[in-house]
Amino acid sequence: MPPKIPPFPMRSVLVLLVGALAPSPGPAARLSKGPYLQAPSAESITIRWETTTAEPATLRYGEGKRLDRALGPINPVTVQSGTNSFYIYEATLTQLRPNTSYSYNVSVGTDEAGPRRFKTFGTAQESVTFIAYSDTRTNPDRHAAVAANFRRHSPEFILHSGDLVAKGSEYERWSSEFFDPLAGVIDEIPMLPSIGNHEQDGANYLAYFREPGTQRFFYSCDIGPVHIVSLDYRSTKVTDEQFTFVTRDLEASRAPWKIVLLHAPMFNFGGHASLWGHEAYLPLFRKTHVDLVLSGHSHLYERFRPLVPKGATDAWAIQHVTTGGGGAGLAASIDDPSLLRTASVHHFMVLTATREQISARALDVAGVEIDAFKLRKKDGRQPAAYLAGAYAEEDVIAAVKKIPPREKKRK
Ligand SMILES: [Fe+2]
Ligand SMILES: [Fe+2]
């Protein structure tokens, strides 16, 4: 069962005019994390931040450079993590204008952060550019070097497929391994995460992240032409709530592209030799025409040929990519005819989706391209040339199973 996190008292937040706000008395609070953006959409966005002392906060925001609206007083939720207590604040801005730039700042006691900027998504956005990466734990300098590249690609959001920190239950790691390397990034570009094994029980993960929809480690959202499904890799059974949700969600989606984000790869050689979700999820993804599966867990880049089951006449080919190079110690891949590109380097991906095409690149910390590929579709059909390059899933599975156990255990 996921741990219970107290609900945020957002219903009681009052919208006030800035001029009516009095300065907060009391001891100075320390803004210890954030602010940072969560759960973005065309009409709303959630902003979270953390302090180490509990006192009411105020969030000011407005269109363009204005800060003429305010939410407050905003009271925190207390989180107990091991020996640490900390305070998480959440403000959800609603009734925003689509495709519009906003400014915001946060003040708690004498501490103030801002102004920061964000832009809402469009309601019928034709194209969207985003980052995907993963496994940012353990080496903050490497994570910072990867993250320092993001903004020059003007991404509208960031996907992270888990192992954000080395030990999710240890409070200190969230600053050093995650929030500090992402300072100046996630305050203006929202992140959509997926839980990894290093998040442990996920209590701090849920304390820090506001998922779109219900807080339960899996969710979906539409951004421009892309439908994104983020999964909890720990749930693999058809009888789990997640499978029911994902089945209905993927069957209902009419988005031009369906992308699944999860921690453990469905096909993978280096690092863990992971074959996740073959009983339940792989058939579902084929049936509901998932285009791209992005995962991490193994610390390398592996892109397979489009994969299909052997002998299928009406096959739907899925592009599987492991992009686990966000900072953790690197693993090596192997040579196999199913792989189109592998790299054992710290890296990230930049993807641009239109209705007709996904254009993807993988770049190392110096911005050097390590891979580039395109996915195309016409009237919902995959091009004949793409299907002609497909490779049998069964042959990958057989090759992965030949990897010695010692290799599989390597982190
Ligand atoms: Fe990992
Ligand atoms: Fe992992």
pLDDT tens, position by position, 322-338: 999 999 999 999 999 99
For residue 229, the CA-to-ligand 1 centroid distance in Å is 20
Q: Which amino acid type is present at position 298?
A: S
Mean pLDDT within 341-357: 98
Q: Give the C-alpha separation, 314 to 311, whole Å.
A: 9
Tell whether the model's pLDDT for residue 82 goes beyond 90.
no
Q: Say which range, 20-29, 267-276, 371-380, has the weakest mean pLDDT.
A: 20-29
What superfamily does domain 128-409 belong to in CATH? Metallo-dependent phosphatases (3.60.21.10)
For residue 21, pLDDT over 70 is answered with no
* Separation of CA 162 and ligand 1 centre (Å): 8
Nearest ligand to the CA atom of 323: 1
pLDDT digits (tens, 9 = 90+) for 172-181: 999 999 999 9
CA 110 from chain centre, in angstroms, equals 32
| Matching fold, domains 14-119 and 128-409 | no
Give the 3-state secondary structure of 353-364: ECCCEEEEEEEE
Determine the average pLDDT of the residues in 368-392: 95
Q: Judging by DSSP bridges, how do beta strands 77-81 and 84-93 pair with one another?
A: antiparallel
Residue 311: per-residue pLDDT: 83
Is residue 210 within 8 A of residue 38, CB to CB? The reply is: yes
According to CATH, the superfamily of the domain at 14-119 is: Immunoglobulins (2.60.40.10)
Residue 329 CA: which ligand is closest?
1
Identify which has the larger pLDDT, 2 or 362. 362
Q: How many angstroms separate the alpha carbon of residue 4 from the centre of ligand 1?
A: 25
Nearest to 275 by CA among 264, 285, 284, 286: 264
CA 91 from chain centre, in angstroms, equals 20
- Beta-bridge mates of residue 343: 301
Contacts of 378 (CB under 8 A, 6+ apart): 356
- What lies within 8 Å, CB to CB, of 189 at 6+ separation is 37, 118, 131, 150, 151, 155, 156, 157, 158
CA distances from 116 to 106, 187, 231 (A): 9, 7, 30
Stretch 86-102: mean pLDDT = 97
pLDDT reported for residue 110 = 87
Q: How confident is the model at residue 114, as a pLDDT?
A: 86
* H-helix or E-strand spanning residue 204: helix 203-208
- Would you state the pLDDT for residue 29? 59
pLDDT, tens digit, 9 for 90 and up, residues 206-251: 999 999 988 799 999 999 999 999 999 999 999 999 999 999 999 9
What are 45-62's pLDDT values in tens digits? 999 999 988 999 999 999
Give the distance (Å) from ligand 1 centre to CA of residue 247: 27
Least confident of 22-31, 291-300, 340-349: 22-31
Residue 394 CA, ligand 2 centroid: distance in Å: 24
* pLDDT > 50? residue 5: no
Q: What is the model's pLDDT at position 27?
A: 53
- Domain spans of the chain? 14-119, 128-409
State residue 59's pLDDT score.
98
Mean pLDDT of all residues in 395-406: 90
User: What is the DSSP code string of 268-330?
Assistant: --TTT---TTTTTHHHHHHHTT--EEEE-SSSSEEEEPPEE-TT-SS---BEEEEE--SSSPP
Please give the pLDDT value at position 84: 87
Residue 380 Cα to ligand 1 middle (Å): 34
Phi, psi angle pair for 383, to nearest 5°: -60, 150
pLDDT of residue 396: 98
Asked if the model's pLDDT at residue 7 lies above 80, the reply is no
Ligand 1 centre to CA of 312 (Å) is: 33
How many angstroms does the Cα of residue 53 sit away from the middle of ligand 2?
Answer: 32
State the average pLDDT for the chain. Answer: 91
